[in-house]
Chains A and B, each alone.
Chain A
């Protein structure tokens, strides 16, 4: 069982928007603005898409945005494109001795 809870799957049609949630506790998501999101295509390494809740690294499309409310962080992808179909993982720093925790991952299907 992962430390952070994500839905197993979400889907959307091209052009639509989807949101993936990531729920933790006050020791991780709720306690730090150190939530990040990663995109992983099959057979590839994870790619950083969002850091520190809502910041995009250089080169990441502005269709990707992040937010947080309490112990739940969210990743929103607007204007869905076929290339967005992938697995998405959230991560957070935690005050526990684990230091870093990941969500179980969400499979995004573009219909």
Chain B
């Protein structure tokens, strides 16, 4: 049973860089899946941030693309998110999720989420 666990600082200063890691357990990050980050501002809906394949190929939400970097570390079976130049608008619960692109197409496994607050 694959499980995902997010980790990282819960507080980031404005203009700083948000850095989170998602550890994959119970399975290999090199499986035929994409690995994604999704965020949810307090009281609001879900927003897709981007995704990565174990080869290093990435896709990003155009609205965040200039500030986002997603990377993978196969030796540690984890992937990471960096979001630069953060503002209060980036305050949210950040989820990592496994994405299938065949035989099914959905986010089938989610981490528990980690709250990140942008504040001085």
Query: Chain B: interface residue count, which band?
Result: 20 to 34
Known: A45-B95, A98-B62. A51 touches B48 (CB 8 A): no
A40 CB, nearest partner CB in chain B, Å: 8
Q: Please give the residue numbers on chain B whose beta carbons come within 8 Å of chain A beta carbons, in ascending order.
A: 36, 38, 45-48, 51, 59, 61-62, 95, 99-100, 104-108, 110-113
A63-90 vs B, CB cutoff 8 Å, 1 = contact: the mask equals 0000000000000000000000000010
B48 CB, nearest partner CB in chain A, Å: 4
Instruction: Identify the interface centre among A89, A99, A100: most chain B CB within 10 Å of its CB.
Output: A100
CB of A105 within 8 A of CB of B105, answer no
B18 CB, nearest partner CB in chain A, Å: 19
Query: Chain A: interface residue count, which band?
Result: 20 to 34
Question: Chain B residue with minimal CB distance to A101?
Answer: B48
Report chain B residues within 8 Å CB of A2. Answer: 45
Report chain A residues within 8 Å CB of B46. Answer: 38, 46, 89, 91, 102, 105
